Structure formats: structure tokens, C-alpha cells
Structure 1
Amino acid sequence: MNRVRSLVGVTSERHDVPYVLRICAVAALGGILFGYDTSVISGAIGPIRAHFHLSDAATGWAVSSVILGCIAGAFASGWLAHTLGRRMALFICAILFSVQSLGAALAPDFTQFVLYRILGGLAVGIASAVSPMYMSEVSPKDMRGRALSMEQFAIVLGALLVYVVNYLIAARASSTWLEEMGWRWMLGSEIVPCIIFCATIFLIPESPRWHMIRGREDHALRTLTRISNEAHAQSLMREIRASMSGNDTEGRSLIRLLRDRNARWIIFIGAMVAGLQQFTGINIVVYYAPMLLSASSGNLQNALFQTIWIGVANLAGGVIGAWIVDRKGRKPLILWGSLGMTTGLLISSAALYMQDTGLLALFGLLLYMVMFGLSWGPVAWILVSEIFPNKIRSIGMSLAVASNWIMNFVVAQSFPMLAGNATLNAAFHGAFSMWLFAALCIGSMLFVLRFVPETRGVSLEKIEETMLAGR
């Protein structure tokens, strides 16, 4: 009898894995645009600085202004995802990405450039919350880690693509042409993935959990049945219905929601995990890699070529992380990844401090990126996507992602001023920021190990009790 029951259970939870991966792949195009848009500035910032005659603070503003849009987009994402649906919110992102890619490329002055970058930031902020939200809601619990890793994989792939595009544009170009036109071609190249995203977004179904929230159970059943089968779909719908407790909690105001002690705790954990990802220092590498490497590489073209390998290292780490995250769990990856990232930062800082003109600094950054790619890169987004109960998912994710972008702004705006500080450079030769982020890496790791429970294999409908048990 037990064997029969076991066989029935296995049958009822059999999933159409290729279908799940296909629809997640389309949603992950938002991640490709996320990575492309945030990384394109790394190759363009030098020529942009020269073209507009920017100071250190203005250079930081050219990079970090996009993050103000990201913060606003992250806050708006909860309302958009709840009101219009996850799929329509992603379509709005695709339109915004398209407008800003052409607008920033054609901007006649620095003010308009910044305004278009902020518009693109709105798209990034929305996509960074809604894309993983959608993927977590269509993925079965036993493959949710792999599916959500596609988001980080897509972000890294988008960054790698733009590193290659930037290098190809700059490879044989003169400094004068790069300052006048090259950076415009770099920014305008984003229109290609934008068009692909616009053309494919309506090929995927709406999230079944959003349909349940809106009372469209027949639509939810259709999608869940396609993902697995009707028996499992009916069982999962009962769990979703129970987790919502008959209330449209997802649509409640933030003030009312934060009066709930349990919801407040889970939102705090999500916001901390998302924010601490930025304190590991990832975006000093993503945004400023050519600036970091230019001293040892000789010129901008060589620095852009070395930046491609940083993207490859991040992609390799992401592949490893996707392969093991559902086998080993979230917290072990954070532990070993953080230790590896710290080691990489210390190696690079040693090279900068000793003014080594060889490949030691590049080696440290490559190690750092591999370890980030298999740990904080995917795991932070996986945790943020799966720790919020259905009834607070939209608003919880919007607040967590906003926290990520706020910390991103702090890092992106402050780094050029740290890097350009004459006193720090005289004493540490550019190594100070690396030491700072190495220490923050360890602190971030300790927070996760202490306060975040392991969520591997926990269904979204059971996640609340798991999160509260770790308090």
C-alpha cells in the first residue's frame, strides 16, 4: 500500500520541465536587459567622462543616476505586478528599455543623458523584481533554484554580451571617435535585445498565482496543469488558496502590512539579503572594471578585453551555482562563495597596493567573479524570490529589490570618489576600497548564516512557517 501511495505521489508531481524552462527563459530576457543596461556603462564611462568633461562626482552621477530610476522602479514593481499582472509589467519594462537605449545614445547634453538613464533605471528596477517573481511562481519547488538561477545567468549573460560589444566597438577606434561617437554606439546597441524581448513576452502564460489572487481559478488551473498535471494542479491550488487565507493581502497598503509583526520580520530579512548583496562589492567590478584594470593593462582597449574575461568568470560561476544550488542548498553556497570572494578581493588589493603591473589584479577579480557567480549572485535573488508568502509577495519583493538598488546607489556613487581620493591613493594605491568590501563580504555572510533559514525544497505555500522558525 505504501509503495502504491508513493508511486501515485511521484506521478502527481511529475513536471513538464522543458516547458517550465522555456517560459522561464523568456522571462529571463528581462534579466539579460538588466545585465546589459547596467553593464554597458563600464565601457562607455571613460569616453562619456571625456566627452562631457565630468568631475569625479559627476562621473559617479553618470553611473549611479540610473540607480535612482531602479529604486523608483523597484517600489513601483509591486503595484504593477499586482494590478496589471507579472507579464504585462515585464512588457512595460521592454518598452522602457527600448526608449532609453535610443534616447541615451542620441542625448545632445549630459542632462538629457542622465534623464534617459534614469528612465532605463525604471525598467531595470521593475524587471529585477518582477522577472524572478514570475519565475518563482511558475517553477515547481524541487527545481525552483535551477529556474531562478536562470535570472542570474541571464543578468551575467547580458553583461558578458555588452562587454564583447563594447570591446568590438572600441577595438580599432581612435580615442577621439570613442569620445564623440563610440559611446553612443555602445548604448544604442541595447535596442537589439529590447526588440527580442518585446516580440516574445506574450508567448508565455500569466503567473497562475496572480490568477488565483485575482479570482481567475480556471486560468490558474490551465497553467498549473500544463506545468505538471491536473491532479497536482488541483492540490497546489488548494495550498495557494489556503495560503491567501481568503484575503487579498497582496493588495493591502504598506502601512497596514507593516503592522503585521510576522510580515515585518520577513520583509526585513528580504531587504537585508538584497541590500547586502551590493555590500559584497560586485558593482565596483561591474561598473568600473576598465577603470580598475587600466593601470595594469596599459590602455582602454586592453582593459575592455580583460573585462570580457571577468564576464566569462561570472558566467562560469553562475553555471556552477545553477547546477548545485538545488543539491547543496542556499546557505552553503553563501558560506564558501563569500570566503572565495574575500580571497579574490584581497589578492587584487595586494596587487594594487604593491603596484603590480602584471596579471595578479586580474586574477583576483576573476576569482572574485567566479565565487560571486556561484553564491551571492544567484542565491540572493533566489532567496528574495522565494521567502515571501503569497499574500505579501508583490510588496515584499518590491521593498527588497528597492533595498538592493539603494545600496547599489551608495556603492556606485561613492566608489569614484574613493578611487579618486588623493590621500587614500597615496597611502594605499587604490587598494583601500578592496579591503573595505572584503570586510563587508564577511559581515554579509555572517548575517545570512545567522538569520536566514535554509529554504531548499520548501514550497512557496509553506515558506512563512520556515522563515518564522528562523527568527
Structure 2
Amino acid sequence: MAICCVAALGGLLFGYDSSVISGAIEPLSHHYQLTPAQTGWAVANVIIGCVAGCLTAGWLADRIGRKKSLIFTAVLFIASVLGTALAPDFTTFVLFRMLGGVGIGIASVVSPVYIAEVAPKDYRGRAMTMHMICCTGGQVLVLATNYLIAKDASPQWLAETGWRWMLGSAFVPCVLFFIFVGFIPESPRWNTLVGRHQQALDTLTRISNPQHARHVLAEIQASLSAENQQGVTREKVTFNRRTLIFLTLGVGLAAFNQLTGINVIQYFGPTLLMNVTDDMEQAMFMTIWLAALQFVGVLGGMSLIDKVGRRALLLVGSLGSACCLLFTFITFYYGVKGIVSVVGLFGYMLLFGATWGQVVWTVIGEIFPTRLRAAGMGFSIGAMWIANFLVSQSFPMMNMNPWLSHTFHGGFPLLLFTASSLLSWWFVKALLPETKGVSLEGMEQHVLDHVARQKSAQTAKTLS
């Protein structure tokens, strides 16, 4: 589990780097005199890098290994932090933020893949949750840091210097991740994939015991042998019916993870909350509580994911999120001020953290066959970042649109997120099997059997 913790630190950098902009965006916008579209671009440009990182992460992780990919990620993070904090102009800021996005994209794929491949099956859900714990922990840490930097500071100082300190605060965790990741072993499944069977056995023995290690290695070898007989190659992903089934699940879950609006709250939390309070410092303080509640939700969900199961948590999360978002929309629409207006958001963050916030990462890290896992994760997380880009780029324009603002009182985006939550419930109900307790080597057949049963049931229903 200690090995998984180190890999999960990639999630901390993911959360820290993706949320650091929330406190910096207002003073940064004043510093560069940005339009609403440019403000959206200042936030969303990182996602271009994230998509590029996701789409290359599978190839990179299969080519040089999971461990070296994580080391490369740490280097990108360090360069991005220094570049954005010291940027002399907006163009330089955008370029280095995109570079950080590449690092986030690679980390968001490789870190969960590594954890899934190292963790025992009975603890895989909890081990995968470490990634989300670190991610939300990073968000709480950076929001608290932003608040402390901005507290009692003048708007002029924040616009000139404060936002640089906010962005530069990520330097320390980036360096620590670079140091720690050098001590973890390579994934045993990747070692087996490239023919390094003894190294794979050594790692499996290190994380379990000699007898169990030999048994797991035999399972991995048998799984890869079966894929070889089916004509699957490591160098190329074949888009046949089997592959599309897994990609539909992975891409769909990843996209819905973002279309419910979670990153609007993380990126634009203070901006969104300015609809219910006129004090920027108070809005930033409430944003810390939103992130903290998500963190608490992840901790609570960690104890449930291997007991209740993935599918049940996602279904509850979809309906619960829809209710919380609808409640928040109603308070915005009727102009309710004060704590009542954010109760729904508090409930949403807590529920999202316990369900969709962590379960999606676990499921898309475990449903793909070994040879497709890195590439499948890349496509899925790429879809997540594309959905993130669409939401993040459009939010400032929706929030500042005079007609939408007058008609819905700042609540229109919340109405869209409510509808997305309901659609996500249907998607999970219709397509996703329960994956709790299923070994990685048995996952492919488990998913295919579920699809076959669903198709047979649908055919029988149509005929009747």
C-alpha cells in the first residue's frame, strides 16, 4: 500500500495544479485585462495539454514503463510551475500552463493504471481511491494556500504579485513527488508485458508472498497469452467490437464525471459564489469548505467501494447529485442569499466525492484488458478532459451572458449539470456491470458476459 501511496501522489499534483487557478484567476484577469472569453481560455487552456498528455500517455506508459512515465510527469510539473509563476506575459503563461496540462494528462492516466496493476484485487478499490484522496487533498491544500495568500491582501498586490505566489506554491509538492517516485518498483504487469518475468516476480513477491506471487504471475502470463491468440498486439489498438465495448464504458464514465460540473466549482468556485455573496474573500473561504467536503466524501467512499460496490455507488451518486444541483439552482433562481444558497453545493461535493469522484477512476482503471489498459485509460481520460474543456470554456460566457444572468440569476449552468447527472444514471444503469472483487485477468470476460446478458434481455423484451 505504501507503493500505491507514492504513485497516488501524482493525484495530489493533479488536484493541486488543476485547482490552483481558482484563486489566481480573478487577480490574473485584472493583471492582463482579460475579456470573459480570455478568462475562460486562461483556465481551459491547460485542458488542451491534458488531452495531449492523455492521448500520448498510453503509448508512453507501454513504451518506457509506468515508473519512468511518472518521473517524466514530475519534470513537466516542475517546469510548468516555474514558467507560469514567472511568466512575463499572457502568452508565456498559457504555454507553460499547457505544458503543465500535458503532465496532468499523463499523471491522470499512468497513476491509476500503476495502482490498479500493483494493488491486490480485494484491496484494489481502496488502493485506487488513494489517487482521488490525494487529488482532493491537493485541492484542499491549494485552496487553503490561496486563501492565506489573499487574506488581508490589497487587490492591487494580488493583481501584481499575489497570483504568482499562488501558482508558485506548487513547486514544493512537485519536487517531493519527483524524489519519492524514484523509489517505487516498476509495474509487474508491464514487466511481464515486455518479457521481464523475473523482475515482475520480484515485485509481486515484494508486495505479497512468494507463493501468491507465482500464482499471480501465472495468471498474468495466461491472460497475455490468451490475448496473443486473439491477435492483439501491444503496438496497435484494434478498433473491433470488443475494444469499442470497453471504450464506450470508459469514455462514457469519464465524460459524465465532468459534465455534472465538478470542475466549474473547482476552477470557478469563487466566481460562482459571487452570485450569493459580494465579498471575494468570503467566496474563497467557502470554496475551501466545498473542497474539504469532497475530501471527506472520498474518505467515506473509500470504506464503501469494496463493500457496496462500484455500480451502486455511481447510481446513488447520480440521483443525489441531481437533487443537490437542482436545489442549488432553485436558490440561485429565487435570489436566496447566505448559507442556504450553498447547502446544495455542500451536499453535492460530499456526495460526488464519495461516488463519482473516486469510483470512476477505479472502474476505468480496472475494466480494460492488460494490453488495452494504458491506451484505454488514455482515451477515457482524454474524453474527460475534452468534456472538462467544454464546460470550463463555456462557463464564463454563460455566467456573464446578460440574458441568461437576468433570466436564471446565475443558475443556468446548474440546470444543465442537473440534466447531465440524470443522464449519467441511465448510462450506468444500462451499461455498467459490477466489478467489485473481479480480478484484472477475469475482467474482460466479466464485462463481455454482462453486455451479452443485457443484449439478450433487450431482445426478449422487444419480442414480447
TM above 0.5, yes or no, is yes
Contact 1:250–1:392, Cα closer than 8 Å, also in 2: no
Partner of 2:9: 29
Q: TM-score, normalised by structure 2?
A: 0.95
Report the CA distance between 1:249 and its aligned residue: 4.0
Contact 2:47–2:386, Cα closer than 8 Å, also in 1: yes
Corresponding residue to 1:47 among 27, 34, 50: 27
Corresponding residue to 2:350 among 370, 376, 383: 370
| Cα deviation 1:49-80 (Å, max 9, x = unaligned) | 11111111111100000000000000110111
Corresponding residue to 1:341 among 321, 337, 345: 321
Return 5+ residue gaps in structure 1 as ranges.
1-20
Corresponding residue to 2:110 among 130, 133, 146: 130
Corresponding residue to 1:252 among 224, 231, 235: 235
Corresponding residue to 1:181 among 136, 152, 161: 161
Q: What letter is aligned with 1:75?
A: L
| Residues in 1 aligned to 2:378 and 2:314: alpha-carbon distance in whole angstroms | 23
| Residues in 2 aligned to 1:133 and 1:262: alpha-carbon distance in whole angstroms | 20
In the TM superposition, 1:233-244 aligns within 5 A as 233-244=213-224
Contact 2:328–2:341, Cα closer than 8 Å, also in 1: yes
Partner of 2:145: 165
Partner of 1:302: 282
How many residues align structurally? Answer: 448
Matched residue SS, 2:3:
helix
Q: What letter is aligned with 1:378?
A: Q
Matched, 1:457 2:412: no
Corresponding residue to 2:410 among 417, 430, 433: 430
| Residues in 2 aligned to 1:93 and 1:391: alpha-carbon distance in whole angstroms | 22
| Residues in 2 aligned to 1:93 and 1:37: alpha-carbon distance in whole angstroms | 12
Q: What letter is aligned with 1:166?
A: N
Contact 2:275–2:410, Cα closer than 8 Å, also in 1: no
Matched, 1:395 2:395: no
What's the Cα RMSD here? 1.1
Q: TM-score, normalised by structure 1?
A: 0.94
Report the CA distance between 1:297 and its aligned residue: 2.7
| Residues in 2 aligned to 1:183 and 1:300: alpha-carbon distance in whole angstroms | 14
| Residues in 1 aligned to 2:244 and 2:334: alpha-carbon distance in whole angstroms | 47
| Residues in 1 aligned to 2:57 and 2:194: alpha-carbon distance in whole angstroms | 17
In the TM superposition, 1:12-411 aligns within 5 A as 21-245=1-225, 247=228, 249=232, 251-254=234-237, 257-258=238-239, 260-411=240-391
| Cα deviation 1:148-185 (Å, max 9, x = unaligned) | 00111111000000000000000010000001111000
| Residues in 1 aligned to 2:185 and 2:8: alpha-carbon distance in whole angstroms | 14
Contact 1:70–1:126, Cα closer than 8 Å, also in 2: yes
Contact 1:349–1:431, Cα closer than 8 Å, also in 2: yes
Report the CA distance between 1:36 and its aligned residue: 0.3
Q: Percent identity?
A: 47
| Residues in 2 aligned to 1:115 and 1:373: alpha-carbon distance in whole angstroms | 31
Q: What letter is aligned with 1:63?
A: V
| Residues in 1 aligned to 2:251 and 2:391: alpha-carbon distance in whole angstroms | 16
| Residues in 2 aligned to 1:35 and 1:431: alpha-carbon distance in whole angstroms | 26
| Residues in 2 aligned to 1:114 and 1:344: alpha-carbon distance in whole angstroms | 34
| Residues in 2 aligned to 1:134 and 1:469: alpha-carbon distance in whole angstroms | 26
Contact 1:76–1:126, Cα closer than 8 Å, also in 2: yes
| Cα deviation 1:365-410 (Å, max 9, x = unaligned) | 1100000000100111001100001121111111111111111111
Partner of 2:447: 467
Partner of 1:11: none
Return 5+ residue gaps in structure 2 as ranges.
452-464
Partner of 2:459: none
Matched, 1:414 2:397: no
Contact 2:28–2:159, Cα closer than 8 Å, also in 1: yes
| Residues in 1 aligned to 2:82 and 2:25: alpha-carbon distance in whole angstroms | 17
- After TM superposition, where is structure 1 displaced by more than 6 Å over at least 4 residues in a row? none
| Cα deviation 1:276-307 (Å, max 9, x = unaligned) | 11111111111111011123233211111111
Contact 1:250–1:394, Cα closer than 8 Å, also in 2: no
